[in-house]
Amino acid sequence: MGTSIVIMGVAGCGKSSLAQALAQAEGCAWIEGDDFHSPASRAKMSQGVALTDADRAGWLSVLVAEMAKHPQGVVLTCSALKKAYRERLRHSTPELKFAFLEITRSEAQRRVEARAATHFFNAALVDNQFATLESPVGEPGVIRLDATASLTALQAQVSQWLHRQAPA
């Protein structure tokens, strides 16, 4: 693949599923951003307490370090809800791309509630995710995706886009 890409969006949009499928299709590494939240941040989220910019700063630093281990390209899941978070990631990884999984609040809520038994993220935080989201649409190196499309279609769309974006 040769490119690094962040699969981003609010909780429940399908970041992990798409990242896993894309990494497999492109034969590259996958970093699950949720695996790098601190125990304190996980506890906050499971109790329905939203993370602060300070909570996310340490997490973003860890993700930057993890991406640096894959100079040949990597697929990272990260909500990257604010432009400042995306800029932090872009600063560390030249030509970083973002795939934004756009979803309605009601569909995100339904999905987060459906996975409640297997994921630490509390469904009470979905509204906060939408309140925090600063859409990346219009920023360079961003593709907008309909999160309700099939996983196969999403992976194919991102793969095609990445190959069109690659320098000749």
pLDDT in tens, 21-32: 999 999 999 999
Q: What is the 3-state secondary structure (H, E, C) of the chain?
A: CCCCEEEECCCCCCHHHHHHHHHHHHCCEEEEHHHHCCHHHHHHHHCCCCCCHHHHHHHHHHHHHHHHCCCCCEEEECCCCCHHHHHHHHHHCCCCEEEEEECCHHHHHHHHHHCCCCCCCCHHHHHHHHHHCCCCCCCCCEEEEECCCCHHHHHHHHHHHHHHHCCC
CATH topology of domain 5-165: Rossmann fold (3.40.50)
pLDDT at 38 over 90: no
Q: What is the pTM of this model?
A: 0.88
> pLDDT per residue over 85-95, tens digit each?
999 999 988 78
- For position 168, what pLDDT does the model report? 45
Which range among 46-50, 71-75, 113-117, 125-129 shows the weakest confidence by mean pLDDT? 113-117
